[in-house]
Amino acid sequence: MASTSETAGTGTSGAVPQPERETRLARALRESVIAAGLTAILGFFFLALRTEIETGGLVLSTRWGLWLAAIGIVFVGRLALNLFVFGRLGATTRRKPATTGAGFPVAKVLTWGLLIFAIVLPFFFTIVFPQRDRQYIDLAILIMTYIMLGWGLNIVVGLAGLLDLGYVAFYAVGAYSFGLSAQYLGFGFWTALPLAGLLAASWGMILGFPVLRLRGDYLAIVTLAFGEIIRVVLLNWTDFTGGPNGVSGIPKPTIFGWELGRRDGSFNDLIGVPYDPIQRFIFLYYIIFGLALLTNFVTMRLRRLPIGRAWEALREDEIACRSLGINTRNTKLSAFSIGAMFAGFAGSFFATRQGFISPESFTFLESAIILAIVVLGGLGSQIGVVIAAIAMIGGIEVLRNLDFLKAIFGPDFEPTQYRMLIFGLAMVIIMVWKPRGLVSTREPTATLREKKRISSDVVAQGEGH
Amino acid sequence: MSEPLLSTRDVHTYYGKIIALRGVDIDVHAGEIVTMIGANGAGKSTLMMTICGNPHPRQGQIVYDGRDITMMPTHEIMRLGIAQSPEGRRIFRAMTVLENLQMGASLVDPKYFDSDLEKVFHLFPRLKERIKQRGGTMSGGELQMLAIARALMSRPKLLLLDEPSLGLAPLVVKQIFDAIRELNQSEGLTVFLVEQNAFHALKLAHRAYVMVNGKITMSGTGAELLGREDVRAAYLEGGGH
């Protein structure tokens, strides 16, 4: 694959460079005109025309300037992309095998750098941004939660190759196990944490059994349904779960039984340090950081054990696994339940952080975001999950604060409205640029593998069954 | 003769409503190389998969080492000392050669791993050179060697091979068949081999069966079948192998 494209590339650029460039410019122009034309058609109703409700009915107003500006931006953008980005895309993918080999230490340095930053993060923010430290540490907690969820789902999707669209169900099970056990049994965070993990793991098993025979699309649909079932049950079982009102007053985590706070007998009172609300954020941050590290550590250990290798083998070829004597049922169930357990821990943490949970927090969108983190990061890559979680969750937050765009588009412009649009665009770009995710160490073999597998399937069909 | 290591009696296998095996009886004795030849779609691979319990036969009985394995799940059958190099080889392509061999040894006490590894590398020195290479980047012959080596890592008593010569150059086919013969002669490994490459398979095997349309139509020693006119006409001259 790589060698043929390389010879083709050098052949055309070496022998006939001149016409190549001309046709490329012409093609770029043609494609830009098409793109601009499409924008004109699509944008006409959205941008050029606008209906406003006034007394006496709808009033149609026109915004030709905006419409023409959009067409212009698309034309220029497409032209620039064609000339400078798409042309080089082939060149970068061709060079990839060499860079992944040489780039490996970079990943290692990045890993350690991120780890050290994560350890000192709360102090970094309190010292460097004393005004906004709460906001930033809160964001770091959020990102860390998603990193943990991403790592948990990575076991199921990335390692075992079981496409799970209902992962949020286990997150919800974890959150509600703590919420409800706190409400009915008076459990604290640390007592409820193992319980939440255990319950989520059992639900992982319960989901696992009926879907053992399913793969790919079918598995995805069933897990999606499962996620929704859990949410709908939580929503409608009003007597027990509070229904749409959720569970409130969930206790904060304690330090060996002592609370953080101003009161007598609190942890602050005990050690004689005055209470500051930021301490609670820092404490929460270190809890989720510890939980996330635990997830990562367990995953890395399991990968080296037979069970982890069996997961990876299962992702590649279930029939081969069975013919090697691997119990695929137990392997799948273990992946489901261990992945679910970490979601349960994370859910329990979510409950204590928010102090309030309701089914609203566990919609399909959450599953989709977690899955997107895993896929964007590169299936099976731990550091990829971290980068993707920072980019996605951090990115969404950054888009909340794009006030400078008001200077360009006028004071009526509300950047948050375009959040999901920009977010979607970014995902499309990443998937075009890196179809195997941000960190895909298997990239060189990946395309080859697909092709060979197809050919061997074709051969297999032709052979004696 | 003593009890066969593997025997199938009146095995009928269906894919949904389509019948693939119409009552197959074979015996494989310990220490033998037995081959089954036949055309495309005759049911050779189906028989091999049925022995491994995927799919299970709808009728009939399969006995291995005195135990009825007809309805056992695949992974339990494989734990009884049967190893398989399946159709299409099914190497884990993202995994390295070493990882693939580790997967093969997942049921075996780890203390045997190093010596077993030496053994398969002695058999296929090429694999040793490729130890860090990913399965997906290897040639067809290397993949087949790896598939056999991976099966051997589980220390089997019975080795099932599904078309090991498929798509390979004649020289590589010879290497692989030599390796099978060596395994059989030096270690007494029992081999059941499904092949289209009738000439090589019949020369290698002690005994052979011919399968046509889901039924056994002929059986005998490899040399006997090689000598028969009808076999030559159907599977040797016409096949061009």
CATH of B1-81+157-241, one of 3.40.50.1260, 3.40.50.300, 3.40.640.10, 1.10.150.120: 3.40.50.300
CA-based nearest residue in chain A for residue B110: A306
pLDDT in tens, A36-75: 898 888 888 878 887 777 777 778 888 888 888 888 888 8
* Contact status of B15 with chain A (Cβ, < 8 Å): yes
Mean pLDDT, range A433-440, rounded to an integer? 77
Contacts of B89 in chain A (CB under 8 A): 456
CB B32, CB B160: distance < 8 Å: no
The DSSP call for residue A84 is I
CA-based nearest residue in chain B for residue A457: B88
CB B222, CB B239: distance < 8 Å: no
Q: What is the ipTM of this complex?
A: 0.86
pLDDT in tens, A207-256: 888 888 887 789 899 999 999 999 999 999 999 999 999 999 999 888 87
Mean pLDDT, range B131-138, rounded to an integer? 88
**How far apart are alpha carbons B196 and A463 in whole angstroms?**
9
Q: What is the mean pLDDT of chain B?
A: 91
Inter-CA distances, A116 with A383, A387, A438, B66, B110, Å:
14, 15, 21, 61, 37
**How far apart are alpha carbons A56 and A35 in whole angstroms?**
38
Smallest Cα–Cα separation from A74: which of A37, A46, A48?
A37
Mean pLDDT, range A375-380, rounded to an integer? 85
* Contact status of B139 with chain A (Cβ, < 8 Å): no
- Tell me which residue in A309, A322, A445 faces B134 most closely, judged by beta carbons: A445
pLDDT in tens, A149-189: 999 999 999 899 999 999 999 999 999 999 999 999 999 99
Mean pLDDT, range A130-150, rounded to an integer? 92
Instruction: Using the predicted structure, report yes or no on whether residue A320 has a pLDDT greater than 80.
Output: yes
- Tell me which residue in A452, A460, A464 faces B44 most closely, judged by beta carbons: A464
State how far residue A303 is from chain B, nearest Cα, in angstroms: 12
Mean pLDDT, range A97-104, rounded to an integer? 44
Q: Does A325 sit within 8 Å of B45, measured CB to CB?
A: no
* Highest averaged pLDDT of the listed ranges A1-10, A402-411, A437-446, B193-202: B193-202
Which residues, in sequence order, are bridge partners of residue B8? B26, B62
Q: Does A449 sit within 8 Å of B88, measured CB to CB?
A: no
Q: Domain segments of chain B: what residues?
A: 1-81+157-241, 89-155
- Helix runs in B52-169, H state only: 74-78, 97-104, 113-123, 125-129, 140-152
> In the structure, what pLDDT confidence band is assigned to residue A463 with cuts at 50, 70 and 90?
very low
- Tell me which residue in B52, B54, B93 faces A445 most closely, judged by beta carbons: B93
**How far apart are alpha carbons B51 and B61 in whole angstroms?**
10
> In the structure, what pLDDT confidence band is assigned to residue A440 with cuts at 50, 70 and 90?
low
- Tell me which residue in B86, B89, B92 faces A316 most closely, judged by beta carbons: B92
Quote the pLDDT of residue A380: 82
- Tell me which residue in A320, A445, A448 faces B90 most closely, judged by beta carbons: A320
Instruction: Using the predicted structure, report yes or no on whether residue A122 has a pLDDT greater than 70.
Output: yes
CA-based nearest residue in chain A for residue B162: A464
Secondary structure of chain B: what % helix, strand, coil (to 5)?
Answer: 40, 25, 35
* Contact status of B20 with chain A (Cβ, < 8 Å): yes
Between residues 297 and 336 of chain A, which touch chain B (CB distance below 8 Å)? 306, 309-310, 312-313, 316-317, 319-328
Q: Which residues contact A458 (CB under 8 A, 6 or more apart)?
A: none
The DSSP call for residue B95 is S
* Contact status of B88 with chain A (Cβ, < 8 Å): yes
B63 CB burial (10 A radius; 0-12, 13-18, 19+): middle
CA-based nearest residue in chain B for residue A455: B88
Q: Domain segments of chain A: what residues?
A: 2-100, 106-445
Residue indicated by tokens 């009003």: A238
**How far apart are alpha carbons B142 and B147 in whole angstroms?**
8
Q: Does B15 sit within 8 Å of A463, measured CB to CB?
A: no
Quote the pLDDT of residue A2: 42
Residue indicated by tokens 């160490």: A441
**How far apart are alpha carbons A227 and A440 in whole angstroms?**
28
